[in-house]
Chains A and B, each alone.
Chain A
Amino acid sequence: MASGRIRNNVRTLRFHRSEMTQQELAEKVGVTRQTVIAIEGDKYSPSLEVAFRIAHAFGVPLEEVFHYESSEP
């Protein structure tokens, strides 16, 4: 099975949205602040639905927020 990691730019996107706080993003997306922290730290990969909601909160396409890093050469 192919292995890899899902990385994200949530922290950077928050910074470019006038330093949107983690709590503000959490409320917009409908998750807890701890989940936003876990996503930013690449410790948790959200469901497709939450991923789309995060992208929608920033007003950007999904691939600008999340990208897949394959460990295979």
Chain B
Amino acid sequence: MDLSYQEKSILGSLLAMVVVYGYYFANALRHAGEPDFASGGIGRLIFAVIAIVVIQIVYQIILALESRPEPKDERDVLIECKAYRNGYFALATGAFLVIGGVIMAVLARDAAPTRIIVTPFLIVNLVLLFMVLAELVKLLTQLFYYRKGF
């Protein structure tokens, strides 16, 4: 498959995000019962952010050495704009879901048969999850338009 420089760059970002945040959220699920986010949660989050930055830098350097970097042209920018629009919708939907979920959990605190404990750990991870999903939507939209044609 003949991939352009931009497509390779996007694919690298996509894989890095899936691997690093997949590992992070799998870990976060295991610690979901912990009420205190500060106990290790922040450390894991910082590690994930640093890991993604390092992987991205190394990958972009290798990519630049192996294939000739191409500056973005008007089509790349237009595709990016469409991708950001879709990513924004995903992020906004996630924000509304988190806000709605927290309000519902607080209102139904005593009425619910099984109590939902809204911890900082849960909120931080839900917000992060939707940020990651929004970024994935953005990257997948870009790949879609590059492959489908635009």
Contact = CB atoms under 8 A, between A and B. Distances in A.
Q: Do A and B bind each other?
A: yes
Interface of A: 30-35, 38, 41, 43-44, 46-47, 50
Given A44-B75, A46-B74, A47-B74, A34 B4 contact: yes
Interface residues of A, dominant DSSP: loop
B149 A32 contact: no
B70 A32 contact: yes
Nearest to A34: B4
Interface in B1-41: 4-6
Interface residues of B, dominant DSSP: helix
Contact of A35 (B5, B75, B148): B75
Nearest to B146: A34
Interface residues of B, number: 12
Contacts of B75: 31-32, 34-35, 38, 44, 46
Contacts, number: 34
Contacts of A47: 74
Nearest to B150: A44
A35 B78 CA distance: 12
Contacts of A30: 73
24 contacts: A30-B73, A31-B73, A32-B5, A32-B70, A32-B75, A32-B76, A33-B4, A34-B4, A34-B75, A35-B74, A35-B75, A38-B75, A38-B149, A38-B150, A41-B149, A43-B148, A43-B149, A43-B150, A44-B75, A44-B149, A46-B74, A46-B75, A47-B74, A50-B74
A27 to B, nearest CB: 10
B73 A35 contact: yes
Task: Report, nearest first, the 8 A-B pairs whose CB atoms are least far apart.
Answer: A43-B149, A31-B73, A34-B4, A35-B75, A32-B70, A32-B73, A35-B73, A38-B149
Q: Which of A33, A34, A38, A46 has the most chain B CB atoms closer than 10 A to its own CB?
A: A34
